[in-house]
Each structure stands twice: as structure tokens, then as C-alpha cells.
Amino acid sequence: MSQRIRFNAFQMNAGSHQSPGLWRHPRDRSHRYTDPAHWVELARLLERGRFDGVFIADVLGVYDVYGSSVAAALRGGVQVPINDPLALVPLMAHATEHLGFGVTCAVTGEHPYPFARRLSTLDHLSGGRVGWNIVTGYLDSAARNFGRTQQLGHDERYDLADEYLEVVYKLWEHSWQDDAVRRDREAGVYVDPDRVRPIAHRGCHYDVPGIHLCEPSSQRTPVLYQAGTSPRGLRFAGQHAECVFVSGPAIAVIRRYVDEVRSAVVAAGRAAEDVLIYAQALVIVGETEAEARALHQELLDHIDPQAALALLSGWTGVDFSRTPADAPIEYVDTPAGRTALGSFSAADPSRRWTVGEAARFIGLGGRGPVLVGSPQQVADQIEEWADATGIDGFNLTYALSHETMERVVELLVPELQRRGRYATDYTPGTLRHKLFRRGPRLPASHTARTLAPGGPAAA
């Protein structure tokens, strides 16, 4: 049997995410993001569709590179206004039994000590269904609001991330032994102090002498997600990540990322299949091809190219407000370490993308392909993409909230199930069990578990 294909839903606690402008479509409901019912409905829908999880993206800043102002982002609703992603997890977890949650939190956004407690809490409340998408942040606007004049340098951010992970790994994996919590009513012992250890961390960025505040949750360390494709990001993913998100407009781009990620994982001494790779895609599926094509055209008519360029400007640090729409995209200078532009030229080496083409491409579906057709046609494309790239699944964006996901669940998932390429039920247990059929903890060989322990026990 061919390999199973997995789906994740790519979301954001905001009025608009990867398809700026589509909020103007009359059937879009993404303005309901402040309503808990919006998220509970989504979670139940995705669980019915046997999605691995919902992946909640985040930024802690605004897209203010375009025209050196936040005005275009505000006008176009480009990932602003945006709310805290963590608050959605307890809500959606309580409404479901199996769905996983990958939450984006930047290491530059919070001190690791309270952060470790936040994630342990979510792992407790969800019964071990939490994942953490480790990001280092890419918006200078976020850094400025934390009192820094600009973002740390790209590699410097990864050095900080390395130490940040060391701290949270020590708290999650090395502070409390499995049998530390006794809750012995007769003996009057809640926790055995001999089985709890202060982590005694002293580093360049953080000093954390104490114990973790939480008792161990079932997964301890949440499932680790990552998305970097720079050399330093790949090395980081190779060492740490259990799931990796990639995005690009063509099979060749994704194939290269997949090879690079798996090589980085092997270079870090792990097995290539220790990492699940999901590629971003937008599915536009109809009962018939004609219906799907009509819907596609309707969606294309709602693209907001200026908003798309505000997004692209934020991702790349390049201000596209003064570039003519027909300028070839390679002529624009890119700051070092930023890779979003490269993927456009790599997408189809036989031609050059113009700024206008990139804007329309990003305007519907973000940085991934748009797969259009009947259930059979989309299933064919899904299989082709999966088999030609070596990915494990897709990180599916929406154009219309929640209609896009409803169509996937109602029309595409049953077709893939008929073909034996998609799960008909969940593996019992934690998110890690569902993804890897082992767990609930990280493998004993993972760098989080082989760290040197902290100080003596608390007793």
C-alpha cells in the first residue's frame, strides 16, 4: 500500500491569514475569529475529517515594510488585528478528543520559564495533544515593541533559540521524575521532593536555577514543529524538529526542501522518517470540475494584490510598494538569510516571475500550490504532489473560512479514504502517538532527553 497522506489545517487567530483579500468574499466568515463558537465548529469539523491537527500561525508584530507604514496592512487586514493563539487551544481541545494543536510561539516573545508552564498547562488540559511551532520571529516591528531597535540577526536568533530550548527541555524532561507526584492522602505526601530536581541552568541568555512549576504532562515536551529552510534553520530542524512545514509554488521546490530536511535530520544522527514533513497547499474542490473552476474564478476575483505585497514585503523585508508590477522579481535586493523570493525563481526556471505575478500567486493560498478540481482530480494532484516530493502530508490553508475546510472534509477526504491513502480513524493516545505510533515522550535519543541533568534533588 502507498504511504498514508496526512492533513493539517493552517490557521491564525486573526481576521485574515494566507489569502489576503478573501475576507471580502460574501461567504467568508473569518471575522468570527473573536467568537469561541467559530473555533469549536472548526475543531469538530477537522476531527470529523481526521486531520492530524490545527496549526495556529502567529506574528507578534505588524507588516509595516510595504511603504514603510502599517497602513496597507491595516487597510487590507493583513494578519492584523491578531489575537493570542494559545487561548484557542483549551477551547478546541475540550470540544474534541483526538485533534492535535500546533501553536506558534517565538522564542523572542516570552521568557522560557513561564513559557514552559504555559505549554505544560495546555498539554495537561488537552490530554497530551499539544505541539509547539518553534519560531525565532522575522518582523522587526515585533522586536521594536519589545524595546529592541531591530530583530536580532538571523543566526543570532537561532543561537538564542538553542539556549531557549535547552532551558525548556530541562524543565520539561529533567526536573520531575515520572513517579515524583505521589498524592498519598494517608502519608500526607503530595510530591516526593527526592524526585524533583532544580535545573540549575546558567547560560548566556538565561539563568534558571529552579524546578519546573508543573507536574509532568503526558507528552512532557510538546510535539516539536519547525519551518526554517535556511542552512542554520535546517540544522536546527535536523536536531530538534518532529514535524516540519515547508512551502513553495512547485513540486521541484518542495522536493529540494524535503531532501534538505531529511539530510539535516540524518546529519543530526536521527532517522530520516523521524520527521513528518507537511507542505502548504490550498484545495479548491467541487462536486464537479466545473463547480470547482467556477469557485476558483470567484476566489481569484477577490484577491487583493496590494495586501499580498504587504505580506510579501513583511516576509522578505523588501518594500514592494515602489516596484512596478511587471518588474522581474529577481531584480529586487533581498537581505541575507531571507529565502521567500528564491522559491519563485526556482518554481519554474524557464521563466521569470514578475512582482505582479507573485502578488496574484500569494493572493490566493499564500506560498503553496492551489489544487483545483473534482474530488477525483484533486485527489490525483494530492497523490502526485505527495509521491513526487516525499512529503508526509499537507498543511492546508483556507480561502474562505470555514467553507474551504468543509469542502475538504466532505468531498476530498472520503475520496482519499476510498483510495486507502488517508486515515479512517485516529491512533489512540497522545498527539505523538497519533503521528508516530510511539510515545508519549520524545524518543530517548532526542537531544532534549540526552541533556546533562541539573543540580541535586530538591529534598
| Interactions with a copy of itself, residue window 180-239 (CB under 8 A) | 181, 183, 185-186, 188-193, 196, 198, 206-211, 213-215, 217
Q: Which DSSP symbol is given to 26?
A: T
Backbone angles phi, psi at 291, to 5 degrees: -65, -40
Residues 103-122 that bind a copy of itself (CB under 8 A): 109-111, 113-114, 117-118, 120-122
C-beta of 68 vs 450, nearer to a copy of itself: 68
84: cell is 493570542
Burial of residue 444 (number of CB atoms within 10 Å: 0-12, 13-18, 19+)? exposed
Alpha helices in 170-267 (DSSP H): 231-240, 251-267
Q: Which of 4, 31, 351, 438 binds a copy of itself (CB under 8 A)?
A: 31
C-beta of 112 vs 233, nearer to a copy of itself: 112
| Euclidean distance between CA atoms 306 and 325, whole angstroms | 10
Q: Which of 124, 232, 293, 338 binds a copy of itself (CB under 8 A)?
A: 124
Task: Specify whether the CB–CB gap between 305 and 360 falls below 8 A.
Answer: yes
Report the DSSP beta bridge partners of residue 6: 393
C-beta of 207 vs 384, nearer to a copy of itself: 207
C-beta of 24 vs 44, nearer to a copy of itself: 24
C-beta of 285 vs 299, nearer to a copy of itself: 299
Span from 30-38, 226-234, 341-349, 376-384 in contact with a copy of itself (CB under 8 A): 30-38
34 contacts a copy of itself (rule: CB under 8 A) = yes
| b/e map 272-298, b = 16+ CB within 10 Å | eebbbbbbbbbbbbbeebebbeebbee
Q: Which DSSP symbol is given to 382?
A: H
| Euclidean distance between CA atoms 102 and 15, whole angstroms | 19
C-beta of 191 vs 266, nearer to a copy of itself: 191
C-beta of 159 vs 387, nearer to a copy of itself: 159
Residues 64-103 that bind a copy of itself (CB under 8 A): 69-71, 74-77, 80-84, 86-91, 93-94
Give the number of residues in contact with a copy of itself, rule: CB under 8 A: 78
Task: Specify whether the CB–CB gap between 79 and 141 falls below 8 A.
Answer: no
189 membership: H or E segment, kind and range = strand 189-191
C-beta of 86 vs 347, nearer to a copy of itself: 86
C-beta of 185 vs 322, nearer to a copy of itself: 185
DSSP 3-state of 90: helix
| Euclidean distance between CA atoms 416 and 428, whole angstroms | 21
Residues 133-162 that bind a copy of itself (CB under 8 A): 141, 144-147
Q: Which of 49, 52, 57, 61 binds a copy of itself (CB under 8 A)?
A: 61
Shortest Cβ 61–a copy of itself spacing (Å): 7
Where in 66-171 does DSSP place strands (E)? 100-106, 130-135
Site map 266..285 versus a copy of itself, x via CB under 8 A: --------------------
C-beta of 74 vs 251, nearer to a copy of itself: 74
Backbone angles phi, psi at 454, to 5 degrees: -85, -145
Shortest Cβ 149–a copy of itself spacing (Å): 9
Q: Is the peptide bond before 335 cis (omega within 30 degrees of 0)?
A: no
Angle between helices 355-363 and 305-316 (to 10 degrees): 100
Shortest Cβ 188–a copy of itself spacing (Å): 6
Residues 290-329 that bind a copy of itself (CB under 8 A): 304
Report the DSSP beta bridge partners of residue 395: 8, 280
Span from 10-18, 221-229, 322-330, 362-370 in contact with a copy of itself (CB under 8 A): 10-18
Q: Please report, as a single letter, which amino acid is at residue 91.
A: L
Span from 31-39, 375-383, 394-402, 410-418 in contact with a copy of itself (CB under 8 A): 31-39
Shortest Cβ 250–a copy of itself spacing (Å): 30
| Euclidean distance between CA atoms 21 and 377, whole angstroms | 27
